[in-house]
Structure 1
Amino acid sequence: MPGLLNAMEGFCVIGIVIGVGYVAARMRIGGPSAQMVLNRFSFFVSSPCLMFAILSKEPIFEIFHSSIIVAFFSAVLVGALFLMLNKLFFHLGPADATVGALNSLYLNSNNIGLPIATYILGNGALVAPILVMQQAIFTPVGLTVLDVTTKGKVSVKEILKQPLHQPLLIGSLGGILVSAINAKIGWFPVLHGTKPLKQKGDRPAIFTVAVLKNIVMPIIAFLLSYFVMGFRGATLYACVVLAALPTGQNVYNYAARYNVGLTFARDGILMSTMTSPIFIAVIAALLS
């Protein structure tokens, strides 16, 4: 029963996302090109980054679990079964039969598999072996057969280039590589040593920076606006809210340019960004 409830909750989450996307598309939120932009962003950026983030922190031996054997042979047997049935009943040509076999064995491991693994199974990394298996084995084999049956020759170059056009595969392989390095060296190599407020000696200065930026500056802005400039209403409100904005990211870029105060700049920006919404909310409550 708990498993059924988890599955229903997972499908509910996925359904809500799909429903919101449908409504947004019908209402043309974002304009006529929004769907294409979001699809491309998901395909080239967000999904690969998500797979990288999931797999890079997953123990390498848990990524390639022995259950991949089940997935592999299930797919191979289903594909072979379709080819057998085609031979007996459908009599499709070689190219169409190949497409039919791929239709039978190929899983939607990214658009559907990833959210299902994340929200229903509780582990997005479960789809990674299937994704790699399909892109590294089934796709090259299928493309080779299609090349032979449609062109009469094999385009080795195109087949070898195919994985380069799969950002999700690249993100997954990158995550797996980081996971393997992690298992070897014993610590997470990406952004290692960037734990916020790690340098205790800088903490007083970092907290001071956050207080100055998010509290003192808005107070000064209020005093100048109200008593010196005579601002009231929306103008006063805008001046104080803008003064409470968090520290700009460019400060870190400047520190990196001269290779000084990198940790200090990063932690100051982080602290300011985390606390700024609180003080802006207070300002809104007092002045809006």
Structure 2
Amino acid sequence: MADVVGGLAVFAVVIAVGWLLVRAGAVPVGSDTVLTRVCFYAATPALLVTTLAGADLAAVASRGTAVAVVAELLGIGSAWCMQRLVLHREAAESMIGALASGYVNAANLGIPVLVLVLGDATAVAPILLLQLLVLTPITFTVLDAITRRGSPSRFATYTIPLRNPLVLAVLVGVLGNVSGFDLDAALRGHLAELLHTLGRIAVPLMMMSLGMSLAATRMRPPSALAAQRRARGGGAVGGAGAPDGVAVVSGVAVPAEPVHDAASRRALRWAVAWKLLVVPGLAVGLGLVAGLHGTALLMPVTTASLPTAQNVFMYASRYGVAKPLARDAVLLTTAGFVPVVLLAAAVL
């Protein structure tokens, strides 16, 4: 427990360093965008390749990862039923509410948190594949059918996951592992040295960019923020844009205005509670049924406790559905997941 608390303290200090760099004017506003892209396109893929290339794939396909995957699927499915049948939200709004309740930030926050808590980010690979190769296409299909917003570039839309550098890194790492490719011997060891060097900077850069993004958002009014994003082409990693008054950087959506209507506030409260309490609870229950205890159980519980992914906000923006709910769920679950992880580490 003390190790986890100490690790999270270091985690917080690195975020604070990024925040101070922007507030002090040592780096320009918007620097977080550069760091996020470095992580997304270079550092994090390198970390995934080296991690998976040398991992025990039998451990990756363990009961723990199965529990994590099933907990997320059950969390999203049950949240949809709650949003649709209990809160009586429209079908498209229920889909976004369900994703906000269970679709986790597996890359930007999942990797550093798992490294911190468990010392290994291998377990994030199945979650990434589930979300990007299964949940994302299903979401596009359902929302296209509901909103009737098919586009002439539908092929490009549906193949986004296959062009995602994180997915490609997972596939390369797994293929290298299965084929027995000796990464350390390739190019006289220089390839492994390159990948390890890039991989080592992934976690601190993610945390520093998060601090920079929070500082930059607080320094600018919403209109100025939107203008700057439009001037530089706007958009979060992956090419999706953000509407006026919303910052989506470093994997976190920072709201510029509150959710106004009572129905949306109620749906938001349920989504946040589902993400931070129900889904981790499902992971605990499923893990105990599967015979997991201690550290083995902590892995799926930690994964289930991760905050809502920024991708949910991108999907809501793409289809013009429940954007305030998605935006605020990302922010609130990002702020609230640390106590849940600390509690899980203390108990397990």
TM normalised by structure 2 equals 0.50
User: Contact 1:44/1:167 (CA < 8 Å) preserved in 2?
Assistant: yes
Aligned equivalents of 1:156, 1:62: Cα separation in 2: 37
Q: Which runs of 5+ in 1 are unaligned?
A: 197-288
2:161 is equivalent to residue 163 of structure 1: yes
Deviation at 1:119, TM superposition (A): 1.5
Matches within 5 A, 1:7-18: 7-18=4-15
Count of residues in Structure 1 that have an aligned counterpart in Structure 2: 189
Q: Which runs of 5+ in 2 are unaligned?
A: 191-348
Q: Give the corresponding residue for 1:259.
A: none
Q: Give the corresponding residue for 1:82.
A: 79
Matches within 5 A, 1:236-251: none
2:55 is equivalent to residue 58 of structure 1: yes
Cα displacement string for residues 188-238 of structure 1 (whole angstroms, at most 9, x for unaligned residues): 246437259xxxxxxxxxxxxxxxxxxxxxxxxxxxxxxxxxxxxxxxxxx
Q: 2:88 aligns with which of 68, 87, 91?
A: 91
2:111 is equivalent to residue 114 of structure 1: yes
Matches within 5 A, 1:154-193: 157-182=155-180, 188-189=182-183, 191-192=185-186
Q: Give the corresponding residue for 1:67.
A: 64
Deviation at 1:25, TM superposition (A): 2.0
Aligned equivalents of 2:13, 2:24: Cα separation in 1: 16
User: Contact 1:181/1:189 (CA < 8 Å) preserved in 2?
Assistant: no
In structure 2, the CA distance between the partners of 1:126 and 1:9, relative to structure 1 (3 Å rule), is farther
Aligned equivalents of 1:179, 1:122: Cα separation in 2: 20
Q: Give the corresponding residue for 2:97.
A: 100
Aligned equivalents of 1:33, 1:74: Cα separation in 2: 36
Deviation at 1:64, TM superposition (A): 2.3
Deviation at 1:153, TM superposition (A): 4.9
Aligned equivalents of 1:145, 1:76: Cα separation in 2: 16
Matches within 5 A, 1:146-225: 146-151=143-148, 153=150, 157-182=155-180, 188-189=182-183, 191-192=185-186, 194-195=188-189
Q: 1:132 aligns with which of 129, 133, 137?
A: 129
Secondary structure of 1:88 counterpart: helix
Aligned equivalents of 1:34, 1:51: Cα separation in 2: 24
Query: Given residue 173 of structure 2, which amino acid in structure 1 is its aligned partner?
Result: G
* Greater relative contact order (CA < 8 Å, ≥ 6 in sequence): 2
Q: Give the corresponding residue for 1:278.
A: none
TM normalised by structure 1 equals 0.60
- Give the alignment's Cα RMSD to 1 decimal: 2.2
Aligned residues with identical type, % of pairs: 28
User: Contact 2:84/2:90 (CA < 8 Å) preserved in 1?
Assistant: no
Aligned equivalents of 1:13, 1:180: Cα separation in 2: 35
Deviation at 1:58, TM superposition (A): 1.1
Deviation at 1:6, TM superposition (A): 2.4
